[in-house]
Amino acid sequence: MNSLTPFPGQGSDVVAFHRTELNVILSLYGRMVAAGEWRDYGISSLRDVAVFSVFRRTAEHPLYRIEKRPKLRQRQGEYAVITLEGQVLKRGHDLKTVLRVLERKLIRAVE
């Protein structure tokens, strides 16, 4: 009767974004919200991957997923930007350079 059930994820290694990584992501997120492109986000920390999902509206599927997969650190790079359809827009070792693919959406022609 006194057996304890551990909280899911407790005691196992879970991949999560570091504070400096979140600062970079949230900086871009704030600029996109100010531009009216994005409105909501969600963060998931799983065993193999940490995901920052970006939504145009709360009830929709995520427009983009920013993923961190440490197992790919020595290969293609641990960071990736993935579209709603599952297409990888950019993958690399440096988060700032990977997120540049999304910053291009902020650049608009002024007439």
pLDDT tens per residue, range 30-86: 988 888 888 889 998 888 889 999 988 766 788 889 999 888 788 888 899 998 888
Give the pLDDT confidence score for residue 53 in this predicted structure. Answer: 92
Domain boundaries, the chain: 41-109
Residue in the block written with tokens 């999560």: 16
Contacts 24+ apart (CB under 8 A), 54-59: 54/29
Name the pTM for this structure: 0.78
Q: Decide if pLDDT at 100 tops 80.
A: yes
CB burial of 1-37 (b: ≥16 within 10 Å; e: otherwise) equals: eeeeeeeeeeeeeebebeeebbebbeebbeebeeeee
| CB neighbourhood size of 65 (10 A) | 20
pLDDT confidence of 8, banded at 50, 70, 90?
Answer: low
